[in-house]
């Protein structure tokens, strides 16, 4: 499992690749907690993973709870089947804010300034 973070218009994007399971979901949770503390406009986790088990689902629910307590927007980009399928099958897509891509998530949390 690998993680990389970037910031777009005040939104922290955490990209996770590889496998998320009970051996490393805690590491992702720690990274998301730090991202929530640093984000000005919200956090997006992009799950570009090959494997995602129930520990990953628990981690998403916990991150969503932390974000709600902090009053910070939190979104998921789960285009990889390995992540999207468990989220959909468990009904978590009704709890979590999901986006088709990172650009859509950043745009929702930090709309670009319009100039006339």
73-102 pLDDT tens trace: 999 999 899 999 999 999 999 999 999 999
* Angstrom distances, CA of residue 9 to CA of 1, 44, 90, 106, 110: 26, 12, 32, 7, 6
pLDDT value of position 58: 97
Measured CA to CA, the distance from residue 91 to residue 85 in angstroms comes to 10
5-22 pLDDT tens trace: 999 999 999 999 999 999
pLDDT value of position 113: 63
Pairing outcome for strands 11-20 and 42-52: parallel
25-71 pLDDT tens trace: 999 999 999 999 988 899 999 999 999 999 999 999 999 999 999 99
């Amino acid at each position: 499992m690998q993680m990389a973070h970037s910031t777009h218009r005040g939104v922290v994007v955490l990209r996770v690749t590889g496998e998320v399971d009970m051996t490393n979901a805690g590491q992702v949770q720690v990274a998301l907690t730090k991202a929530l503390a640093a984000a000005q406009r919200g956090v997006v986790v992009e799950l570009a993973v090959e494997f995602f088990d129930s520990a990953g689902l628990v981690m998403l629910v916990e991150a969503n709870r932390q974000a709600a307590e902090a009053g910070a927007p939190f979104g998921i980009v789960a285009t990889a089947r390995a992540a999207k399928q468990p989220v959909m099958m468990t009904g978590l897509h009704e709890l979590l804010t999901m986006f088709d891509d990172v650009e859509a998530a950043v745009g929702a949390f930090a709309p670009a300034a319009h100039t006339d």
